[in-house]
Amino acid sequence: MLLKLTGSILTVFASTMIGNLYARKLSGRPAELRELQGMLRMFETQLCYLSSILADAFFEISKSSKSPVSAIFYDASRILKREKSITAAEAWKKSVEANINNTSLNSEDKNVLISFGSSLGNTDLEGQIKNIRFTVEQLKIQEGKAEEKRRKNEALYRNLGFFGGLAAVIILL
């Protein structure tokens, strides 16, 4: 009897934790999108006022945050410094693809980021600034979608985890 009770409690606890994990991932995405927008604004400042080269600008931006998205900027900087024959667009794409799974960002966000990187180093300063602002606007739209999804589904995932575990216990008993 004690073994069944312990197993039941562990099942409900584990399923509740899984539900909370999914809910946390939902709430992490809007925060990371906001952080990314701030980093892109810093990048704009680095280009406009400090005339930094891309690798140095990416490195400085990556140091400004402990968010998982800062790894994208760090790796892009590292790739640009290490591989001299690679373009900024290629380095950015490699970095996004290598780090996107360590964030809460989804494939739509990845496409926005890769699209942003495709014009890095290919246009003049004014073109870069327009691209940054356009990307920030796209990320704002993504943030709105993510926030709406979080609002609708966060409680659902938490409750589903708990009640799913409870249902499993009832079925198994």
- pLDDT tens-digit series, residues 67-125: 899 999 999 999 988 988 888 889 999 999 999 999 989 899 999 999 998 888 777 88
Residue 161 CB contacts under 8 Å (≥ 6 apart), including other chains: 15, 16, 17, 18, 19, 20, 22
The number of domains in the chain is: 1
Task: Give the integer Cα–Cα distance in Å for 71 and 65.
Answer: 9
Please state the pTM of the whole predicted model: 0.80
Over residues 50-61, the mean pLDDT reads 82
The 3-state DSSP class for residue 95 equals helix
Cβ-contact 88, 80 below 8 angstroms: yes
Give me the helix-helix angle, 54-63 and 70-82, nearest 10°: 150
* pLDDT of the residue at 27: 85
- Would you say 149 and 30 are in contact if contact means Cβ atoms under 8 Å apart? no
Burial label for 80, CB within 10 Å (0-12, 13-18, 19+), is: buried
DSSP symbols for 60-84: HHHHT--STTHHHHHHHHHHHHH-T
Q: What pLDDT digit, counting tens, does each position of 6-27 carry?
A: 888 999 899 999 999 888 888 8
Give residue 15's domain range.
Answer: 2-172
Computed over every residue of the chain, the mean pLDDT equals: 89
